[in-house]
Amino acid sequence: MQLKQLSVFMENRAGRLAEITRVLADAGVNIRALSLADTSDFGILRLLVDDPDKAIRGLSEAGLTVRATEVVAVEIADRPGGLATILALLQGSGINVEYMYAFLERHKDNAILVFRFEEPKKAAEVLREANIKVFTAEEISKL
Amino acid sequence: MILNETYECMTPAARHELQSERLRDTVRRVYENVKPYRRKMEQAGVRPENIRSIDDLRKLPFTTKDDLRDSYPYGMFAVPMKDVVRVHSSSGTTGKPTVVGYTRYDIHEVWAEVAARAICCAGGTPDDIVHVAYGYGLFTGGLGMHYATERLGATAIPVSGGNTKRQIMIMQDFGSTILCCTPSYSLYIADVCAEMGIDPKKDLKLKAGIFGAEPWSNEMREEIERRLGILAVDIYGLSEIIGPGVSCECHYKNGLHVNEDHFYPEIIDAAKGTVLPDGARGELVFTCITKQACPLIRYRTRDISTLMREPCPCGRTLARMGRVTGRTDDMLIIRGVNVFPSQIESVLIAIEGTEPHYEIVVDKRGVLDELEIKVEVSAEVFSDEVKRLEDLRSRIQGEIESVLGISAAVRLVEPKSIPRSEGKAKRVIDKRKG
């Protein structure tokens, strides 16, 4: 199962992140997970939200460049070795990770990892076959 | 269709004779009626009878923008004010404005005629509805294309500049088929169409666009043609010579047909003032050989172009000028190297999908000039991976450096962060001055 992640291009300047998150707030969009990749000049804000389509509309109307990409979110136990196990599994199947970020699940002892793969479908299959929980869009939205 | 085959398809010999006769008449008129011209000719030791044919043109001195400023406002007029029915003026962005005058003959028999030829060059006929989105006023763009449309017998929509949403609504409702505006404004119209959810190819009836008043590139043409679904041709003109219609491309898009039965073109070496052979790049110079009110002799346009005289497949035998690639006064000298904004634009548009929204910033760090180019990241080139955006940035930087031969810093910026203009694009910020 793949999820729709939104990426937003932003210039690296004071207050810009606050402005962009304000746009999402005004559109009534709730952020589930967020990661920021940056260089000295620009950044890419990556977001999982409860309603991606609504978020795309809001961000585009505010004049921002938004792109939707497919990512895979999986659940792992929040203890030493949790991530290492998954990465070893992916490496063994010849699947490359473009980038990833993690967040903790509320009221549970689990962490959620968000992966960007070159081949998200294949990666999701491999993970599911190894009995790793892969989230659906609906589950992410209800977290 | 060709509006005036007699003049547009003349044999070279017949045209030479016509031009010679018209030049003789013009030189006599300016010598008798325009004091600055009589003075210049006396200083150069030339008398009207020394000018027998168009080949003698190079004996005459040049006219510059400064000559017009020195005789501001009406000192270059060759007719009494009672015969002047209209004046236009340049914007004066580089000093005092210059003023030009027109007699009734100049407006109807020269200007409307040549600009109507331009509409025909773009495929226009009396059945077309021409959307004139150039400003109406002292600037020649709006009224020039307006009179041209009426002269052709097509329908003019005198919408003028600004209020883009309303413009698009009018295009949709009134069925505009030909758009006249600056090339950068046509892309702005495409942007606003996208914002409004309008597909110009399906929802508008546009078939052609006649774009001018600022330098643009073939890559920009391709983008305009693709996004608006039209034929885009380049029109050239300047108020000092007449306004839009001095020259225009036909659908073969291989140079702009110069209406040389009215305006005789030359290309000169800008530094030496010598006439260059056909094909050489240099400053474009025009001599008005039919105008009555303000017939300028060898006027230095400061525009950089070339001239070609091989026949065009469209049937017109008029000389063609290359696309204007810059201005002698737009040229930036960065670390001793001549840089034209158009060179940077070509690189940007050639890199797939990059919209030509950019800004060139020149500054000094210590004693060294620094060149920075801000490029907006459009949805087409945006990636969620830093690596790809860094690749894009360094590719643009590498290509600009290889074209210009000097180092440049490229910075990716957010869409719409560079100010848009609805008239002429301001692409260069030079912080070294003042």
Average pLDDT score over residue span B128-141: 95
8 A C-beta contact, residue B304 and residue B329: no
Average pLDDT score over residue span A9-30: 91
DSSP tag of A134: B
pLDDT at A66: 93
8 A C-beta contact, residue B418 and residue B374: yes
* 3-class DSSP state of A74: strand
B384, B416, B417 member nearest A44 (Cβ): B384
8 A C-beta contact, residue B294 and residue B241: no
For residue A10, give the chain B residue with the closest CA. B414
- For residue A65, the distance in angstroms to the closest alpha carbon of chain B comes to 6
Amino acid present at B226: R
Say yes or no to pLDDT of A107 above 70. no
B382, B386, B413 member nearest A11 (Cβ): B413
Beta-sheet pairing, B256-258 with B320-321? antiparallel
B379, B384, B412 member nearest A116 (Cβ): B384
Q: Which domains does chain A have, with CATH numbers?
A: 3-69 (3.30.2130.10), 70-142 (3.30.2130.10)
Does the beta carbon of B361 lie under 8 angstroms from any beta carbon of chain A?
A: no
A52-56, B224-228, B362-366, range with the lowest pLDDT = B362-366
What lies within 8 Å, CB to CB, of B308 at 6+ separation is: B255, B278, B279, B319, B320, B321, B322
Choose, out of A16, A61, A65, A70, the residue to mutate when testing the contact with B (most B CBs < 10 Å).
A65
**Predicted confidence (pLDDT) per residue in B200-216, tens digit:** 999 999 999 999 988 78
Q: Which uninterrupted H or E stretch holds A127? A: helix A120-129
Phi/psi-derived region of residue A48, left when phi > 0, alpha when psi is between -120 and 50, beta in every other case: beta
pLDDT at B210: 98
Computed over its alpha carbons, how large is the radius of gyration of chain B? 22
B379, B385, B411 member nearest A98 (Cβ): B385
For residue A5, give the chain B residue with the closest CA. B384
Percent of chain B whose predicted confidence (pLDDT) is above 90? 74
Q: Which residue has the higher pLDDT, B364 or B14?
A: B14
Q: What is the SS3 string spanning chain B? A: CCCCHHHHCCCHHHHHHHHHHHHHHHHHHHHHHCHHHHHHHHHHCCCHHHCCCHHHHHHCCCECHHHHHHCCCCCCCCCCHHHEEEEEECCCCCCCCCEEEEEHHHHHHHHHHHHHHHHHHCCCCCCCEEEECCCCCCCHHHHHHHHHHHHHCCEEECCCCCCHHHHHHHHHHHCCCEEEECHHHHHHHHHHHHHHCCCHHHHCCCCEEEECCCCCCHHHHHHHHHHHCCEEEEEEEECCCCEEEEEEECCCCCCEEECCCCEEEEEECCCCCCECCCCCCEEEEEEECCCCCCCCCCEEEEEEECEECCCCCCCCCCCEECCCCEECCCCEEECCEEECHHHHHHHHHHCCCCCCCEEEEEEEECCEEEEEEEEECCCCCCCCCHHHHHHHHHHHHHHHHHHHCCCCEEEEECCCCCCCCCCCCCCEEECCCC
Confidence of residue B189 (pLDDT cuts 50, 70, 90): very high
The mean of the pLDDT values for chain B is: 91
Average pLDDT score over residue span B24-49: 96
- Cα(B57)–Cα(B51) distance, rounded to whole angstroms? 7
Task: Give pTM, 2 decimals.
Answer: 0.67
Q: Which domains does chain B have, with CATH numbers?
A: 1-328 (3.40.50.12780), 332-430 (3.30.300.30)
- Residue A35 structure tokens: 């990661």
Choose, out of B384, B386, B411, B414, the residue to mutate when testing the contact with A (most A CBs < 10 Å).
B384
Beta-sheet pairing, B129-132 with B178-181? parallel
pLDDT at B421: 63
Say yes or no to pLDDT of B267 above 70. yes
pLDDT at B92: 55
8 A C-beta contact, residue B259 and residue B112: no
In A, what residues contact B, Cβ < 8 A?
A: 5, 7, 9-11, 37-39, 41-42, 44, 46, 63-67, 69, 98-99, 116
**Predicted confidence (pLDDT) per residue in B412-431, tens digit:** 998 888 877 654 556 888 88
Backbone angles phi, psi at B238, to 5 degrees: -150, 150
pLDDT at A139: 85
* 3-class DSSP state of A109: coil
- For residue B387, the distance in angstroms to the closest alpha carbon of chain A comes to 10
Record: contact B382-A65, CB cut-off 8 A:
yes
Percent of chain B whose predicted confidence (pLDDT) is above 70? 96
Residues of A in contact with B379 (CB under 8 A): 65-67
pLDDT at B96: 72
pLDDT at B66: 87
The mean of the pLDDT values for chain A is: 89
Average pLDDT score over residue span B102-122: 98
CA distances from B199 to B9, B212, B374 (A): 39, 24, 29
Residues of B in contact with A97 (CB under 8 A): none
Confidence of residue B44 (pLDDT cuts 50, 70, 90): very high
8 A C-beta contact, residue A98 and residue A117: yes
pLDDT at B346: 78
**Predicted confidence (pLDDT) per residue in B90-103, tens digit:** 765 556 788 999 99
Does the beta carbon of B382 lie under 8 angstroms from any beta carbon of chain A?
A: yes
Average pLDDT score over residue span B326-353: 78
What lies within 8 Å, CB to CB, of B217 at 6+ separation is: B323, B342, B345, B346, B349
Residues of B in contact with A39 (CB under 8 A): 386, 390
- For residue A107, the distance in angstroms to the closest alpha carbon of chain B comes to 31
**Predicted confidence (pLDDT) per residue in B284-331, tens digit:** 999 999 999 999 999 999 999 999 999 899 999 999 999 987 777 777
pLDDT at A85: 87
Average pLDDT score over residue span A101-119: 85
pLDDT at B335: 84
Burial of B308 (0-12, 13-18, 19+ CB in 10 A): middle
Residues of B in contact with A67 (CB under 8 A): 379, 382-384
